[in-house]
Amino acid sequence: MPKNNFPILPVPVNDGMPGGMMLTGDAISGGMAFLVGELEKRDEKLHEPLTSITWPRDMPVKTGGGWVDSVSVFDVSYASTGGTDGGLMGPESNDLPIMQADIGKDSYKTFQWGHILKVPLIDQQRLQKIGRNLDDVLNKGLHLVHDKKLDESVYVGFASHGSYGLVNDPQISTVTAAPHTADGTDTQWKGKTPDEILADVNRALLATWAACEYDLSGMANHILIPPENYAYLVATKVGVTGDKSILQFLLENNLGRNQGIDLVISPCQWCKGAGTGNSNRMVSYCNDYDRVRFDITVPLQRMMTQASAEHLAYLTPYVTQFSELQWPYRTHALYMDGI
């Protein structure tokens, strides 16, 4: 017997029976997982999907009007009939032309859009333990889906409803970029000099200016191009010193700048492959409410909230109404394919 007179007892072994005192491998690994969870550094920010919404930059919008079946736009054309020499009067001439006005109306479709926000009660309680609100998370997702739908409507419309957008309207005049090769086959900007690219830009501005009978308020002031074309303009330098990009060169030397118009050239993912034969398209237009726009007649709003015993959740429908793209004028717009 040892000096302390205590007997040495055998160490209990876990034999799989209840009451065993040794920890099994599963128990040890589970305990380590809990320990790691306690020691982890948690990022409190909830990282949302990476995406882009650009319609507020490229399209004027008017909000309000309520639930309607359509949105109408009125226009007027002037003409005179009769008379001689367009109204010039001679010594013995009293045959004067008669002034006339033709007022027309264009109607544009409206679309109703809705989603249901479903907040399960148990999941809401769980997330509250870690400081998150499920309703806020789902609400951000709903607004993102809503903005993506507006983006689609503005740029390409909805084929299933017969609507078109900013980059694919069949009534907009379309031209092909000037070639830079002898055989006339290659028109892409990546093979052109800065002056040749400027010639394409000025060609679009001059065409819209002329189509509006040289009214400066109708000259295109906004140009959309695919992101890869935009990147090329930014990255490629001009001149011997290389202190200026092609983009800066275009913005400082275009026809509109000479006439007091500040031209905007922006990247737009919807222009990629939008041209004839899936070529890249340049969209030139006047970004002004009196030239092109759309209406959000009913902003996104919550209609009601209902507790559902069947789903053990709160159900909240959100609805909105918006119009297709409206073109009071189309003479200010031009597509250039093959850039």
pLDDT tens readout for residues 226-259: 999 999 999 999 977 778 999 999 999 999 999 9
Residue whose pair of structure tokens reads 């000037």 in the numeric block:
178
For 164-211, the pLDDT digits (tens) are 999 999 999 999 999 988 787 899 999 999 999 999 999 999 999 999
What is the four-CA torsion angle of 52, 156, 73, 299, rounded to 10 degrees?
Answer: -40
- C-alpha separations of 251 from 71, 223, 245, 286 in Å: 36, 11, 10, 16
pLDDT at res. 277: 94
Structure tokens at 86: 């367009």
Structure tokens at 15: 């034999």
pTM of structure: 0.82
The values of phi and psi at residue 110, to 5°, are -120, 150
278 closest CA partner among 226, 320, 315, 217: 226
Give, for 212, the enclosing helix (H) or strand (E): none
Regions of the chain where pLDDT drops below 70: 1-38, 93, 130-131
CA distance 42 to 231: 37
Q: What is the reported pLDDT for 36?
A: 58
Identify the three-state secondary structure at position 186: coil
Report the phi/psi class of residue 138: left, alpha or beta, with left for phi > 0 and alpha for psi in -120 to 50.
alpha
- Residue 259's pLDDT is 93
Q: Are the beta carbons of 199 and 254 closer than 8 angstroms? A: no
Domains of the chain: 55-78+98-163+295-323 (3.30.2400), 174-293+329-337 (3.30.2320.10)
pLDDT at 135: 80
Say which amino acid occupies 34. Answer: F
Q: Smallest Cα–Cα separation from 220: which of 252, 264, 258? A: 264
Residue 23 has φ and ψ, to the nearest 5°, of -80, 135
Query: Mean pLDDT across the chain, nearest whole number?
Result: 87
Question: How far apart are alpha carbons 143 and 117 in whole angstroms?
Answer: 11
Residues pairing with 107 in the sheet: 72
275-280: long-range contacts, CB 8 A cutoff, minimum separation 24:
275/174, 275/335, 275/337, 275/338, 276/174, 276/176, 276/337, 276/338, 277/337, 279/337, 279/338, 279/339, 280/188, 280/225, 280/226, 280/228, 280/229, 280/337, 280/338, 280/339
